[in-house]
Chain A
């Protein structure tokens, strides 16, 4: 069973601050996805990364995939209350047969 560690588990910050969430595995990902989930709803995809060293930007969100494809980070600049939610990373490894394994998530609260 592949394990995917996400940190921090909880994060409470003030509006306008920056933050970074991390996702790590001991194995090489074939692909990694970041999702955001709001209470009472299913997760919604933010980004997919597949190439080592890849950087993707989505407005104030920046996603990095480690060169060795074992880790990823999500950085939010100038956080807003609307960014509040559960951020999940999910990965596939070689041989995982299309099964996506999720981390435990980072519960972000942005206070006005």
Chain B
């Protein structure tokens, strides 16, 4: 399967713990996005990479959140000192070089903070 891969698919953690999600994009795509989605709502933009450069971060991305894409391939999203409000689906998407290219989404990583 050469689509966008995310893991883990599900993570249950206790408040205050750190969690890390990984995204492997489609190999030839240079742009990688992280979104957060709560039940019944649309995805909210968190951050975006072009190759290894993080070009934009949302105000939603507090200092407890950090994202990296060290070699311009896979990306990680880490949440430190998790809070119950962090419970959501974290979606990763990648995109090729076309100006109106579509986003290809992974199946998401669902986080539940107890």
Contacts and interface: CB of A to CB of B under 8 A. Distances in A.
Given A99-B56, A102-B42, A105-B42, A42 B100 contact: no
Contacts, number: 60
Contacts of A101: 45
B61 interface: no
Given A33-B102, A88-B43, A105-B40, A42 B93 contact: yes
A40 to B, nearest CB: 7
Interface residues of A, number: 25
Interface residues of B, number: 26
A104 B41 contact: yes
Interface stretch (B14-22, B71-79, B105-113): B105-113
A99 B34 CA distance: 11
A107 interface: yes
A98 B106 contact: no
A30 to B, nearest CB: 8
6 contacts: A42-B107, A42-B108, A43-B91, A86-B42, A102-B35, A102-B42
Interface of B: 4, 31, 33, 35, 40-45, 48, 50, 55-56, 91, 93, 95, 99-100, 102-108
